[in-house]
Amino acid sequence: MQTDRKVVEDLSTLRTGYAMPSERVANKVLPRLGKHMREFIALSPFVVVATAGADGKVDASPRGDVPGFIRVVDEHTLHLPDRPGNNRIDSSHNLVDVPGIGMLFFVPGVNETLRINGRARITFDEELRQANAHDGRLPRAVWIITIEEAYFHCGKALIRSDLWNPEKKIERSTFASYAQINADLFGSDVQELDRYFDDSYRNKLY
């Protein structure tokens, strides 16, 4: 690791490298959901969730389901169903310690994203789990998210990345399969892992 680089150590120095935000940008943050934000969440099948533990370690986790899987309860509240995963529950561990949460919503084909910051609590409440079931399959838990900040983020990052351009998709065979990655890590049989992950993806999404 290089240690001879001069790094920024205070906010006043940091600001010298950037122009001040415009009044419109500075004032776009709302303490609640507006009309277009509600519509965006209803169209969104994918969100990245950021949390941090009491030890300061930060985690970012992808969450995806059918569009609108995160339910808008009112202009201040969201419900996120916690579907089956790998059972590490890193994000949930963090939220028990530190309830702060950041969310970045994506809608395929739209370059702008929606950012929401707030606080989250986790519940095993049966009624809420039933309300967030998929084809009768209940989520492990439901996150109750209280919104503190909500705002749309401009599309520059997605435009630069050309993320939604189908011509930019790689041939899947050019990168190792998930089974191969795990086989290399743990010395397991790749064909056995292929069957395991195929079954998991087909039959254990919910």
Tens of pLDDT along 46-87? Answer: 999 999 999 999 999 999 999 999 999 999 999 999 999 999
Nearest one of 180, 178, 175, 176 to 190, comparing CA atoms: 180
In this structure, are residues 89 and 63 in contact, taking their beta carbons and an 8 Å threshold? no
**For residues 166 and 177, what is the distance between their CA atoms, to the nearest angstrom?**
20
Residues 6+ apart with CB under 8 A from 112: 152, 153, 154, 155, 158
Question: How many C-beta neighbours within 10 Å does residue 81 have?
Answer: 22
Tens of pLDDT along 140-186? Answer: 999 999 999 999 999 999 999 999 999 999 999 999 999 999 999 99
Domains and CATH numbers, the chain: 28-164 (2.30.110.10), 170-206 (no CATH)
